[in-house]
């Protein structure tokens, strides 16, 4: 059995996903980072973007994360985000509509959020 790390993906108001994984890829300020079991203790600032979790049973979980932190210690990875959604929970049509709406208006933040959601759906 391959080495595993425990992952907790939590949003401000709920626990989005938790379980065992072999690899987690997330985007932090200095670029994409892959965390595998036994990584050095790390604390980083997350950028908005899709997070890919390769679970220990071979599946892949993709989530859209809008800002937050990543902390790894004692083989436990915590992804803290103000808002986070699993790609399966995202409605692509709705995100696209939101993106169009944001483009026509000047709402940069909403546009970025919709964009991250669509990227997460695409990466699924």
Partner 1 sequence: MGAQLRVYKRRIKSVTATKKITKAMEMIAASRIVKAQRQVAASEPYATELTRAVTSVATSSTTKHALTTEVENPTRAAVLLITSDRGLAGGYSSNAIKAAEHLTSQLSSERKDVVTYIVGRKGLAYYGFRDRPVTDSWTGFTDNPTYADAKVVAAPLIEAITKDTAAGGVDEIHIVFTEFVSMMTQTPVERRLLPLTIAPSSAEESAEVFKRGGEVRPLFDFEPSAEDVLDALLPRYIESRIYNALLQAAASKHAATRRAMKSATDNAGDLIKSLSRLANAARQAEITQEISEIVGGASALADATAGSDR
Interface residue list for partner 1 (CB under 8 A):
8, 10-15, 28-30, 33, 40-45, 68-69, 71, 73-74, 78, 80, 82
Minimum CB distance to partner 1, residue 82 (Å): 7
Minimum CB distance to partner 1, residue 58 (Å): 26
Separation in Å, CA 121 to CA 49, 74, 88, 104, 124: 11, 31, 8, 22, 5
Minimum CB distance to partner 1, residue 40 (Å): 5
Round to whole Å and give the CA distance between 59 and 45: 26
Cβ-based nearer residue to partner 1, 69 or 88? 69
Minimum CB distance to partner 1, residue 113 (Å): 13
């Amino acid at each position: 059995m391959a080495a595993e790390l425990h992952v907790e993906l939590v949003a401000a108001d709920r626990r989005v996903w938790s379980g065992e994984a072999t690899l987690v890829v997330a985007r932090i300020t200095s670029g994409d980072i892959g965390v595998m079991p036994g990584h050095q203790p790390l604390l980083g600032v997350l950028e908005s973007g899709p997070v890919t979790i390769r679970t220990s049973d071979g599946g892949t979980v993709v989530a859209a994360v809008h800002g937050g932190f990543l902390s790894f210690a004692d083989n436990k990875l915590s992804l803290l985000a103000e808002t986070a959604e699993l790609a399966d929970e995202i409605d692509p049509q709705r995100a696209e509509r939101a993106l169009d709406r944001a483009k026509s208006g000047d709402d940069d933040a909403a546009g970025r959020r919709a964009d991250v959601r669509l990227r997460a759906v695409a990466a699924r």
